Structures are given as structure tokens and as C-alpha cells.
Amino acid sequence: MTGVTDIAWNIDYDETVLSQDLYIENTHKFWGAFITEFAGGAYDARVDCSYEVINLSRTTGYAETSNGGVHPIQAGYEELGVGMALAFNKLLKTN
């Protein structure tokens, strides 16, 4: 979900039926449960998850476009790159 998706959300969904804020809240709950289940080898020593997408800004990482800002722009890809570098560094330092 991007910072510029309010307009697109309201075009595609009835806010009174499916709230964007509730959707974002539930997405955060999902990722929290996912990280708890899989991070740091909790599920299997060979399985981990990375957090690079946390570094992707909802406001500056996406463009205001007709597709509601679905795909990152250059700045967004750079933010993802920083997140991936941090994830790789963490992985290398802990193994």
C-alpha cells in the first residue's frame, strides 16, 4: 500500500465496506506473524525471511500513476536495494 493509493482505493473499493486503514492493519498483523514463524530459522534452520520491503517508503517509493502506485519508481528500487543489503549483511554476520 502506498501513500498515494487513497484515490485508487476509493475508486476500486467501497471504504464503508473495506477500510484501507483496516486492510493495512491486517497486512501488518500478517507480516508480524510471518516473521515470527519463519525468521531466524524458527521454522527450519535453512529457512529465513528478509525485511527489505520495510525500507520501502509508501510516499516516496512509488509514483502517482493511473495504476495507483503499484510498482516502485527508481527511488523505491533504491530503497529496496538498501533493505536487501541490510538483510544480506545481517545474514553474513550471523552465520
Q: From CA 13, how far away is CA 75, in angstroms rounded?
A: 28
Mean pLDDT of the chain: 74
Q: Which position has the higher pLDDT, 13 or 35?
A: 35
Cell of 20: 484501507
Is pLDDT above 80 for 49?
no
Cell of 72: 516502485
Q: How far is CA 50 from CA 13, 21, 76, 84, in A?
A: 31, 24, 17, 8
CB atoms within 10 A of CB 49: 15
Domain extent listing, the chain? 6-94
**60-83 tens-digit pLDDT:** 666 665 555 556 778 888 888 888
